[in-house]
Amino acid sequence: MDVSIVVTAYNYARYLPECLNSCLDQQGTRLMYEVIVVDDGSTDDTPALLASYSDRRLHINRIENSGIELASNHGFEAASGRYVVRVDADDILDRFYLARIEPVLQQGIGFCYSDYIIIDENSAAKEVVRLPNFDETEVINRGDFLATGTIYTAELLHRLGGYSSQTRNSGLENYELIIKLMAMGVKGIHVAEPLFKYRHHCNNMSTKRVSSIISYGQAMFERYGLGAFRTNQYHPYKLILPELQS
């Protein structure tokens, strides 16, 4: 298996069909791929919706509600691909995501990420986000790093044990993973093309828990000796920290 697409889902039945269909309908690629869904104890229609799929590439795992870190790690452990990409259940992969990523994988990567499109609750496009080429200083200044669309070697994920899970739903689980990888000397590769859609809506964890996310970021930066937690113009929510506001 070349690529495992790990979808983490908790009470997102409204958005899940768009997400799953985008993952299963990858076009123009020679890569063999599977889609692993981890239903993190959803209490909405998610279980029934998942039961309606019969695609052999789709593997469904239901666990007791555990939070995004442990749910993702469960998916990482179940993955059989040489590369792993996580997709949140409210986001959408471009149908040519794997086709565009395939040449980069052949170069040998630690991790790879792309530009993206911000969409609203109704999947209408709001903005195209063009990210800069990989630069460690810029990533540290960014203050976050999206999980959706970022693809890793499975070997690196396993070596690090997946996401840190001491804090449940930290909001920065993927960013912390990137920080750890960079500390190991791992470089990222940027694909200058929007290859997924990132949904902004009122239920985003990042919107609901800004203060706790900032607190976690401050503690994380102190833990890794990175100075003061900070953000720049490429932060997914354009978060401006209170002490930096005019």
- Residue 117, burial from CB neighbour count under 10 angstroms (0-12, 13-18, 19+): middle
pTM of the model: 0.94
Model pLDDT for residues 134-180, shown as the tens digit of each residue: 999 999 999 999 999 999 999 999 999 999 999 999 999 999 999 99
Q: Specify the CATH number of the domain 3-237.
A: 3.90.550.10
Residue 86 to residue 206: CA distance in whole angstroms: 17
Model confidence at 243, in pLDDT bands (50, 70, 90)? low
Residue 199 to residue 189: CA distance in whole angstroms: 23
Model pLDDT for residues 39-95, shown as the tens digit of each residue: 999 999 999 999 999 999 999 999 999 999 999 999 999 999 999 999 999 999 999
Every domain of the chain and the residues it spans: 3-237
Continuous H helices in 85-223 = 97-107, 136-142, 154-160, 173-183, 205-208, 210-223
Distances (CA, A) of 187 to 87, 113, 181: 21, 11, 8
Give, for 21, the enclosing helix (H) or strand (E): helix 16-24
For helices 173-183 and 68-78, give the axis angle rounded to 10 degrees.
60
Q: Which residue is it, tokens 């059989």? A: 80
Pairing of strands 188-199, 111-119: parallel
Residues ≥6 apart with Cβ < 8 Å to 38: 6, 7, 8, 9, 61, 62, 63, 71, 72, 74, 75, 78
Task: Confirm if 98 and 29 have CB atoms less than 8 A apart.
Answer: yes
- Residue by residue, DSSP assigns 62-91 as EE----HHHHHHHHHHH--SSEEEEEETT-
- What DSSP designation does 5 have? E
